[in-house]
Structure 1
């Protein structure tokens, strides 16, 4: 196979570049483009020899794009205009402008790329921007397929449901093309053994692999239905779903992704956070087979930003929570402290997101910045598999 010339847009910390390497598809990144100076420092730290353009995409002319003569575009445009908890400004959000510029440039290139891979949040698939993307690539002669996939489909104990589009410049349909449907599983490809993957659209509510909520311990579902005081914001269905995921042997345990030889003291939750957010924490153990999606607010905010790890394995979570009723704040903190709850380290989150062992940050990048950058990144192994699917 010829060596593909790849253009990496919105390159961030290099998740797409790592995925390209992981895919083993012969390729060379001719340019990476990002305006985020902190992300660019991390990118340069890991890919010192890649041509990195620290400028806005709108600042690159049609002629400059043509000179790069690329065969593939890998891109992860800003997700804020489409995220379910945001304002959903879609095309009216200024952060969409750079992507609209790409869609304007694409049909006017001297040589169209052969492949396009795009990643974004769930919600992009129902946006007007997505409609314009489909219209543009269809007019250019691309065949395409859309997906909603989570790393749990690859046995990784972390839920990160994301939208993906694969597009190929050819006249015949892709072998896995299902017109009008967003696929919830990877296509089977010749180079790999068949595997059982996620779920179809109709069975989403029964799925193990899609977006687990809050928290599950070894306590029985029955006990929660009888009114146990554990996690007051959980329903019996949510607890059921988490327990199913924890007993799903196709998923690896979190302990496989944890750091062994690092100083963890700075990662333990402070007493104020323990007291204020006790009932909102998504608590997992090293033996758990699940964790919630880590967002850019992890480490700074508690609710909905990612799981925390219970490192005291001999302490029963449910017993601690049952004992909290009517205790004064100081005693509640003392009880909760026995769980030894800590944040996942940035390295551990990078491990769960499929970044290779050699991936690292420059020393000057703070822990808060590392969490933010990882929260804005993607799962390397999911994208690597999709690159293989696209190029086969």
Structure 2
């Protein structure tokens, strides 16, 4: 649910799962999803609140990165008073439909959101989510993980991940990933050697140029333009990529190349900073503003993959299905 361009789906696929259904309402994100996932015939485009949930296939795992702006410190933090926050209850409607149509619930859930979900409204928002899942018989745990520590990507991105299992013993056996020593640096992803398309560069015609030229001195880090000041990331990683970084002066990640030119990160570099493999690209006809939004709204794929691997190991989803030959590792249905 809320599949975006399919970063969460990709992480689960890399872990060995098979996606049988996905939903996204943003038409441009759907174009990119299909481009990245071989046409994705299972992708259902449209508002989840208007979709007949009884036609969704039986799911072993339901995954959802429901919209985070309602809970983010970068937004208004209105929570369930925001329509984007209310979509959490669509997850419960999918669970109800699974129960009615198939007589059983998904064995496990994995939800993702901004870390402030846990403390929003003094913890009441998170408690509603936890208690709602527990009412369906799930046993729930959560953890805040930073992409630069758990995904080996040089991006400072803290997100809360919620896992839920119907079987309490399975939750007990589940383990969150351990932190990893980083092996990928910014300059392994960012091209500071070559001059790229001129539209990514700042020059004297920009109202921000003098401020940027004075502030940006390092070729090892990423800077962030915050309208009235420039922030340097002193950990030499990229600040959290956001959906609005392609819409103006706010939150734009900038770098100084080896010829001391100032430019924005490209959308493709943003994808790499989210852990997408180099073979995953945007459609050529997609506008850069949409590309930046889609990258910022996405997830860090390697973090998802590590969580997914541990979920699949607990569920022992490795038996033959659909008449496949015995002994071949084929996962059962998952979303």
Q: TM-score range by the shorter chain?
A: 0.7 to 0.9
Match of 2:144 among 148, 160, 168: 148
The equivalent of 2:51 in structure 1 is: 60
| Structure 2: gaps spanning 5 or more residues | 223-234, 314-335
CA distance in 2 between counterparts of 1:85 and 1:29 reads 31
CA distance in 2 between counterparts of 1:138 and 1:281 reads 50
CA contact (8 A) 1:72 1:113 kept: yes
How many Å apart are 1:270 and its aligned residue?
3.5
SS of equivalent to 2:169: coil
The equivalent of 1:90 in structure 2 is: 79
SS of equivalent to 1:348: helix
CA distance in 1 between counterparts of 2:247 and 2:137 reads 45
How many Å apart are 1:159 and its aligned residue?
0.5
Match of 1:291 among 224, 238, 248: 238
Match of 2:158 among 157, 161, 166: 161
Find out whether 1:21 has 2:17 as its counterpart. no
TM-score (norm 2): 0.78
Alpha-carbon spacing, 1:279–1:382, altered in 2? closer, same or farther (3 Å): farther
Alpha-carbon spacing, 1:52–1:90, altered in 2? closer, same or farther (3 Å): same
Query: Which stretch of structure 1 is more off in the superposition, 278-287 or 115-124?
Result: 278-287
Find out whether 1:389 has 2:310 as its counterpart. yes
CA contact (8 A) 2:221 2:237 kept: no
CA distance in 1 between counterparts of 2:273 and 2:74 reads 23
CA contact (8 A) 1:33 1:57 kept: yes
CA distance in 2 between counterparts of 1:30 and 1:155 reads 28
How many Å apart are 1:134 and its aligned residue?
0.8
The equivalent of 1:252 in structure 2 is: 184
Find out whether 1:263 has 2:253 as its counterpart. no
Alpha-carbon spacing, 1:358–1:145, altered in 2? closer, same or farther (3 Å): same
Higher relative CO (CA 8 A, sep ≥ 6), structure 1 or 2?
2
CA contact (8 A) 2:216 2:256 kept: no
CA contact (8 A) 1:10 1:33 kept: yes
CA contact (8 A) 2:246 2:293 kept: no
Aligned length: 289
> What is the correspondence of 1:309-348 to structure 2 with a 5 Å cutoff?
309-312=255-258, 339-348=260-269
The two structures, once aligned, show a CA RMSD in angstroms of 2.6
> What is the correspondence of 1:181-192 to structure 2 with a 5 Å cutoff?
187-188=176-177
TM-score (norm 1): 0.67
| Structure 1: gaps spanning 5 or more residues | 1-8, 178-185, 189-194, 198-248, 314-338
The equivalent of 2:67 in structure 1 is: 78
CA distance in 1 between counterparts of 2:241 and 2:140 reads 29
> What is the correspondence of 1:167-316 to structure 2 with a 5 Å cutoff?
167-172=164-169, 174-175=171-172, 187-188=176-177, 196=179, 250-259=182-191, 263-271=196-204, 272=206, 273-276=208-211, 285=220, 289-303=236-250, 305-312=251-258
CA distance in 2 between counterparts of 1:130 and 1:104 reads 18
Alpha-carbon spacing, 1:61–1:165, altered in 2? closer, same or farther (3 Å): same
CA contact (8 A) 2:152 2:302 kept: no
CA distance in 2 between counterparts of 1:293 and 1:274 reads 23
1:118-143 alpha-carbon deviations (Å, 9 max, x no partner)? 11112111244432221122122222
CA contact (8 A) 1:294 1:375 kept: yes
SS of equivalent to 2:160: strand
How many Å apart are 1:37 and its aligned residue?
0.5
